[in-house]
Amino acid sequence: MSKFEILSKDGNARRGILSTLHGDINTPAFMPVGTAATVKGVFTDDILKTGSEIILGNTYHLMLRPTSEIIKKLGGLHKFMNWNKPILTDSGGYQVFSLSELRKLTDNGVEFRSHIDGKKIFMSPEDSIQIQINLNSDIVMVLDECTPYPSTYDTAKKSMLLSMQWAKRCKEYFGENDNSLFGIVQGSTYEDLRSDSAKRLIDIDFDGYAVGGLAVGETQEEMFRVLDFTTPVLPKNKPHYLMGVGKPEDILGAVERGIDMFDCVLPTRSGRTGQGFTSLGPINVRNAKYKLSNDPIDPFSQNPICMNYSLGYIHHLFNAKEMLGGMLLSLHNIYFYQEMMQNIRKAIERQELKSFIKNFRERYNTN
């Protein structure tokens, strides 16, 4: 079971420490995504050097390949991937949602076809928890249905109630466990449904509370509106996790609204396709204007990629289709995110979050 301590506040923003069996996590925290037991293109030692304290693994992908049973036999996910710090695993609900053409939902669980070989698979809430127990995740997520956007009120309500039924079954199956179990608030963009969902989860009692069903197509304004009425009803002494978010400006706005934890594939997915995150906004390193550049990716960063490799060199690597280009840019992007999170935490401690966000946005949008 994790322990969450709030060290300081600035408005609704919180600076805290989440303690787990595999170490402490300073919050607000960003979790790089390690879908198939690897943060794509980045060595474990290098992830550690970025200041990352927790990574996310993917239940759906790991249950299919190599299977959670194999990972358990090999000593659990930490040993398997050589990562001795905390791991959070999602329940597989989002992946099943994204494969909607291959799935069939029932009260008992979800039936879907593997994207690898088309094999028919059934996953119940209990199955999802058992897989994550096999992996020995520090933070286990309940199985939920990620409600599509947009949804009618009736569709969102039916989906939310199914997720709440599954959440209760997950908690009962999880039982007494040294690791942590987080519930997931659903309800689409409807305030009363989000409130009802949160209250049902609080009654079940979880170690932390995630906000799901966002970053699925809604505008940033809509996402912030949902957070404005959702985070205030979550327990103030437990961590709040916004799933699948996001862009730097999304994270800043969510921290202001009381969110403590984030995950997103953006740093590495963007890195593999040539997009670098910088203090002056994102850039495409493949652009011809960088061909003769001796400048670093980010003129305001002292990270090892910026200190040792020029934009011109990374531009060349992408043009030559050398895999090192994507590796270096992915690592740079993780550094960028972790430096941003560190600066957010300092700003909350100093009661300077509003001015930090104002300055960040003014500089970030100059490209």
Selection from 57, 46, 53 nearest residue 84 by Cα: 53
pLDDT at 10: 98
Domain boundary among 264, 296, 323: 264
Question: Does residue 104 belong to any structural domain of this protein?
Answer: yes
Selection from 182, 250, 172, 174 nearest residue 215 by Cα: 250
Considering the domain architecture, whether residues 91 and 169 belong to the same structural domain is answered as: yes
pLDDT tens string 252-290: 999 999 999 999 999 999 999 999 999 999 999 999 999
Considering the domain architecture, whether residues 305 and 247 belong to the same structural domain is answered as: no
pLDDT at 96: 72
pLDDT tens string 187-219: 999 999 999 999 999 999 999 999 999 999 999
Considering the domain architecture, whether residues 202 and 282 belong to the same structural domain is answered as: no
What Rg do the C-alpha atoms of the chain give, in angstroms?
Answer: 20
Considering the domain architecture, whether residues 91 and 196 belong to the same structural domain is answered as: yes
Q: Let me know if 107 is a catalytic residue.
A: no
pLDDT tens string 287-303: 999 999 999 999 999 99
Q: Which is higher by pLDDT, 198 or 104?
A: 198
pLDDT at 112: 86
Instruction: Write down the catalytic residue from 10, 260, 263, 298.
Output: 263
**C-alpha pair distances (Å), 172 with each of 38, 169, 204:** 30, 5, 9
| Strand 29-34 to 261-264 pairing | parallel
Considering the domain architecture, whether residues 254 and 289 belong to the same structural domain is answered as: no
Instruction: Write down the catalytic residue from 90, 138, 144, 207.
Output: 90
- Is 90 exceeded by the pLDDT of residue 230? yes
Contact 189, 215 (CB under 8 A): no
Residues 6+ apart with CB under 8 A from 332: 271, 276, 277, 297, 298, 301, 303, 305, 306
* CATH classification of the domain holding 235: 3.20.20.105
Question: Does residue 217 belong to any structural domain of this protein?
Answer: yes
Flag whether the pTM goes above 0.75.
yes
Q: Averaged over 317-332, what is the pLDDT?
A: 98
Of the pLDDT bands very low, low, confident and very high (cuts 50, 70, 90), residue 329 is: very high
Question: Does residue 367 belong to any structural domain of this protein?
Answer: no
pLDDT at 101: 73
Considering the domain architecture, whether residues 162 and 231 belong to the same structural domain is answered as: yes
Contact 210, 184 (CB under 8 A): yes
Question: Does residue 21 belong to any structural domain of this protein?
Answer: yes
Task: Report the C-alpha gap between 99 and 130 in whole angstroms.
Answer: 22
Domain of residue 351: give its range: 273-361
Residues 6+ apart with CB under 8 A from 49: 304
Question: Does residue 90 belong to any structural domain of this protein?
Answer: yes
Other beta carbons less than 10 A from residue 217's beta carbon: 9
Length reported for the chain: 367
**Structural domain count of the chain:** 2
Q: Let me know if 90 is a catalytic residue.
A: yes
Selection from 24, 57, 12 nearest residue 259 by Cα: 12
- One-letter amino acid of 41: G
Considering the domain architecture, whether residues 58 and 11 belong to the same structural domain is answered as: yes
Question: Does residue 366 belong to any structural domain of this protein?
Answer: no
Domain boundary among 236, 264, 292: 264
pLDDT at 367: 62
Considering the domain architecture, whether residues 95 and 78 belong to the same structural domain is answered as: yes
Contact 61, 84 (CB under 8 A): no
Considering the domain architecture, whether residues 157 and 289 belong to the same structural domain is answered as: no
Considering the domain architecture, whether residues 76 and 123 belong to the same structural domain is answered as: yes
Considering the domain architecture, whether residues 297 and 184 belong to the same structural domain is answered as: no
Contact 57, 88 (CB under 8 A): yes
Domain boundary among 264, 290, 322: 264
- One-letter amino acid of 259: I
Of the pLDDT bands very low, low, confident and very high (cuts 50, 70, 90), residue 102 is: confident
Instruction: Report the percentage of the chain scoring pLDDT > 70.
Output: 99
Question: Does residue 103 belong to any structural domain of this protein?
Answer: yes
pLDDT at 103: 82
Of the pLDDT bands very low, low, confident and very high (cuts 50, 70, 90), residue 100 is: low
List the structure tokens of 123.
């996953």
pLDDT at 83: 98
- Is 70 exceeded by the pLDDT of residue 167? yes
Q: What is the DSSP string of 242-306?
A: ETT---HHHHHHHHHTT--EEEESHHHHHHHHTEE--TT--EETTSGGGTT--S-S-TT--SHHH
pLDDT at 1: 77
Considering the domain architecture, whether residues 77 and 205 belong to the same structural domain is answered as: yes
Question: Does residue 223 belong to any structural domain of this protein?
Answer: yes
